[in-house]
Structure 1
Amino acid sequence: MTLTRIDGSDPVAEGDSRGAMFRIDGSQPVGDFLPVNYRLGGTAAAPFYQQPEDYRLEMRLDGRWYTMSVYRGTPFFDLYEVPLVLRVVPLLDTVMEGDETVTLDLVAGDGYELGSPSAAEMIIEDGVEPVAVSFAEAASTADEDGGTRSITVNLTPAPSSAITLAYTVGGTAAAGADYDIAGLVGSEGTVAVSPGQTSVSIDVALTDDGLHEGKETVVLELAAGIGYEGKGRKVHTLTIVDNDDPPLPAVSVAGGSSVTEGGTATFTLSASPAPSAAVTVQVAVTDSGSFAVGGQTGPRQVSVGADGTGTLTVATASDGVDEPNGAVTATITDGVGYAPHVTEGTASVAVSDDDPTVVTLSAPAGDVAETGGTKVLTVGLDRALVAPEALAVPLVFGGPATRGVDYTLSCGQAAGVACQDLDGAAPNIVFTGQAGASRTATLTLAASADGIDEGAGERVEVALGGLDGNSGTQLSG
C-alpha cells in the first residue's frame, strides 16, 4: 500500500478549499472494508476530536467529500476501495504563525503491507501578512550615568495577535558590567508584543561603573521570528559616553648601574599610562653615606614627558675619606597629575667607596724578659666595619726568635675580630662588620723560657703584610 500527493508540491494557502490531495493505492480490500492506520504530523495543529485549528482532513467516497474524525493514539480509516483520495484543507485564521507543515504517514497494520512511498507532506502558507518591524532610529547616544535608555521598535501594521519579537545584542560594552537588559540570555533577547501594538521598546539599563573606559557600544539587531519580518532599520547602535576621568599615570622609578664615588647615579622614571602632557614629578633623594654632592639630596623635581619617561641624575663626590659602601635612593612622592607606583615607587643605585681602609700596628716600647715577659700588639683600623664588610689583615713575623719556640701568640677577644693561623704559615686577623664591631684587635706575645743559653737577647719582628684584592669583602678602597 502506497501514499502519494497527487496535486503537485506547491504550498497551499490558508483558506484554500481545494486543499492538497493524497492518493492511497494498493490491492482491493478483501471483504467490505479494511482498517488502515495512519499518523498526522508537522508543525500545524492536527484536528483532533473534530476540533480543527489549522486544517481538516477529508475523504472522498462516491463522489463526495466527508470530514474525517481524528483521534489521538493511532487513528485509522476504513478503506472501502482503491484508489482512495484524502484531502487536507487549510483553515483561514487571524493568527500570525508563519508557514506550517502537515505530514501524513501510513502506519503498518493487519491485512496490508506498506509500500514506497508511504508518507507525504504539504506546506500551509500563512494567510496573515507578517508585520514589518524596524528600529525607530539607527543610532542613539547616552551618558553612562543616564539611567535606562529605551530603544523603540515600530510595527506596521499592528499585529492582530500576540507575537514575540527576537533580537541579538553585540557591541563593545559588556552585558552585566556596562549595562543590563531584562530577560537577556547570553546575546539573545525577546520582547512580547500584544495585539494592536504599533511600537515596543527594548530597555537598556546603563551601569555607572566608575571606570574610565572611553566610549562603548551596544548593538541591537532584529532577528528572524514568526509573524514578522525586519524591514528598513534592523540594527540600532547605542553609544555609551563614559563619564569617568582617565586614571592618573602611575609613576615608577628604576635605578641604573652601580657607580664608584665620583660617578653619577642615574634613575629612570616611567609613567603608565603616559600622560597627555608633561607632568612634574616630585622625588625625594636620600643618601645612605656621604656620597652625594651637596644639593643633590632632598626634594627633587623631574619632568616626565608625553612619552611616559623622565631621567633623574645624582652626582657623587670622591671625598678621599674611607667609609662603607652605600647607595643613593630615589622615592616618588605625591604630586599633581600622577600617583606614585604602589610597588615600584622606590629604587636605589649602589655607590662604592674608592678610599683605602687605613690599618696600623702599634706596640709599647721596651724589651721583655724571657721568663714571663709579654708584650701586647695592637692592630687598628681607621674606622669600625659595618655589615657586610670584612677585611683580612695578614701578619708577617721575622727576626732570630722562633715563633712557637721562643714565644707564643694569643688573640684578644673583641666583637667582629678573629685571629687565624697564628702558628701557621699564613697568620692573619679578620675584621668583620657587625653591630658593635671593634676597630682594634690585640695580640699578646709571650716569651718562652726554654732553659737554653742563647747569648744575647733574641729579636722578634712583626709587620703588616700587603693587602691584595682578595683581602677585603665589600671594601672598594
Structure 2
Amino acid sequence: MNLSVSQSGDYAAAGATGTKTVTITSSGTATYTVATVGDEVDEADGSIVVAVSTGTDYDVGTPSSATVAVADDDDPTPEADDAETPAPKTCSTTDAGLLAEVAAKVTRHGTTGRTDLLEMFTSTHNTMLGTDTYTVAQLRARPDKQSANWNRPGPNVLWQRIYTELDRLETCRAASPDDPLEAPQTPTVSISAGAGITEGGTASFTLTASPAPATTLTVTVSVGQTGSYAVAGQTGTRTVTIDTTGSGTLTVTTVNDSTDEADGSISATIQTGQGYQVGSASTASVSVADDDDPPVVKPTVSIGAGSGITEGGTASFTLTASPRPAAPITVTVSVTQNGSFAVAGQTGTRTVTIDTTGSGTLTVTTVADTTDEADGSISATVQSGGSYVVGSASSASVSVADDDDPPAVVPAVSIAGGGGITEGGAAVFTVTATPKPATPLTVTVSVGQTGSYAVAGQTGTRTVTIGTSGTESFSVATVDDTTDEADGSISATLQSGQGYTVGSPGAAAVAVTDDDDPPVVEPTVSISAGDAITEGGTATFTITASPAPQSPLTVTLQVGQTGDYAADGTTGTKTVVIPTGGSAPYSVTTVGDDADESNGAIVVSVSQGQGYTVGSSFSASVTVSDDDEPQPTSVEAPSAEVLPNGHVLVTWPAHSHGSYIVRAISVGFKHPTRQIQNHDENSYLFEDLQPGRWIIQIYTGDFRTRIGRGWLIVTVP
C-alpha cells in the first residue's frame, strides 16, 4: 500500500518523509512507524501525518489519513545579556563621512553546528547561510556606493546574541559624524477616481506617487468592470507612467450600445511592482450609468409564505406580480407537502388569479388528527406560464407543527456538512437529533481528513452536545499553508453512544480546496545528432531542455564511440550548459588517420543530473566514415543469435590471418565493455551481457593495427 508521510515542523528523521509503502498481511492490519529526532533546539510543537495514497489492488477509504502530535521538550533560548554582547567589529562606508544604517532581522533555527540563517533586509535582499561574516552590498541609507561589514563575534555565539549586536549596530558613522542621513524613500502610489460617467464616456483615474519619483515610474494597474461597458482591450493589466510631478492618468473608454442593462462601474486596482509600494488607497471605481430604455417585460411572479401553523390550520401563500399586470393573470402553482397534513385534494396543480393590484392568495387546509408524527410543511412552487415569468422566489413553504404527544423514542442522530472551503477556512458540520431530545444529548463524533489540512488537535474523537432544539453545529479549523498539494476534505462520522441511535446519513464531508501554486516543473533534456562526418571532421549534437530553464542549466553527458575516431580526451563524462534559450550545441572532434578501418560513430548520451530529467531521446550518434584505403584482408560481417537463456552466440567466417579480438560495447556505455584477445576460433559465446543494445566487433591482427574488422548490433532482452 502506498503512503504519503509529511510533517508539521522539523521532527521526522532524515528520509522518513515522502512516499513510502507498507505491507498488510492476511490479518488485515499493519503497523507503520515514523522515527523522530530528539534535538536540543527549542521549537514549536509539530506533528507527523501519514496519508494513504491511491494505488492498484485497493481503494482509499475513510479516514484516509492520521496525525500524531509531536511535542518539543527543549528549553527556550534565554535572552541575550547586553553586558555580554561585544561591540561590532566593522562598520564602514566606501565614501568617507557618510552615515550608514543597517536594517536587519535574524531568524534562529538552531545553535552552531546546524544550518543557521541570517537575513539582512536591505534594498537588495541578501541572505547569509551559516557564515561568520556578512557584507551588506547596498544600504538603505543612500543610493550611492556603500558597504558595511558585520562579523560574528565567535564560532559558538547563538544567533539570538547576534540579533542584539545588530540592534547596537543600528547606526554607524565614518570619519565625519556631522554628515546628515538622507535615506531615499520608495514612492507610495495611490489611486483616485474621476466623476461617474454615462455609457460611451471615458472613465478617468489619477495615480499619485508620494514622494514624487526622481525619474518616470511605471505602475501596473488591473482594470476590471461591473457589467459590460468597457471597450474591448481596455480591461485587464494596464500600465501608467507617473512623471516627476508625482502624477499620472489612466483612462478607460466605454461603449454606447442600445442594450438596456443595469448600471455598472469601471474599477482600477494598483498591482505590486518594482520601484514603488502600493498605498492604502489602492483601488478606485467610476460608476457607469446605462442610458437605454428597458424592454417591455412580462410580470415576474414570486411567492411568499405566511406564518407557520399547527395541524388543522390553513397555510396561506401570497403571490405577487411585478410590475402589476394590466389585466388579471392566471398563475399555475404546484402544491406539495412534507409529511401528511393537507386535506385530500389540496395538493397537486392549483391555479391562482392575480388581479391588477398585483397580488393573489393561495390557501391550503390541513387535517387535525391524533397521530403523533414529525412536523412537516406545505410547499407551493410557481410553474411557468405564457403571461408571466417565474421569479427567483419561486417556491415557499409554511411549516406545519404536529400537536400530538410523541411516544417515548430514542432520537436518531444524523450529520450534514456545510459548503466546501478553501484551506485556512473552517469546515462546518450540523448534527441533528430526530425527534428533538427532551434534555441535552451528548453525541460522539470522529473527525478525519483527506490530505493534511486540519489544524493540529482538530481531528480525532470529539463530542457535540445537542440541545432541546434538536440541532447543533461544530467546526473544524484548517491551516492556510504555502504548500501545493491535492485538494482534500474534512470528514465527520457519528459514533454509537448512549441515548441515541446513528441515523442516516451517519457521515459527512466538506471539500477543502488547496490555494497554492504548483512547484516549478523540472525541464526534460533530450539530444539530437547532426549530419554524418568523415574521420577528421567534427561530430555535432544539439542538447535541448523543455521547457527552457529559468537559469543556465548544467547537464551531464556520456561521450563514447564505436571504432577509434574520437580525439584524445573527448570521450567519457562531460558537461554542457544549456542557457535560458533552451538549447546548446555540443561537438566532438575526430582524428583523420591513415589506417583503414570500419566506419564508426560518436555516441553522446544524456546522464541523470540535478535540476532536470532525462527525456526519451536521451542518446544520439553521428556516423563517422573512414576515408583510408582498405588493407588486404578483412573480416566479413559476423552474425549473432540470442539464445533462450539470454546468452549471445556470435559467429563469423573463418580467416587465415591469425587470431581474433572480440569486443562487446554497450550502446550509450550503460555497461562495461567486454573484450577477448587472441581468440583462435571463429565464434564466441557471451554469457553475461546485461539487457540492452550491444555493438559486437570482430578484429584480426593487433588491436591497434586492426587489419580487418566486422561488426553488428544485437539487442539482449
- TM-score normalised per structure 1: 0.37
Q: Which has the larger radius of gyration?
A: 1
* TM-score normalised over the length of structure 2: 0.26
Choose between structure 1 and 2 for higher RCO, CA contacts under 8 A separated by at least 6 residues. Answer: 1
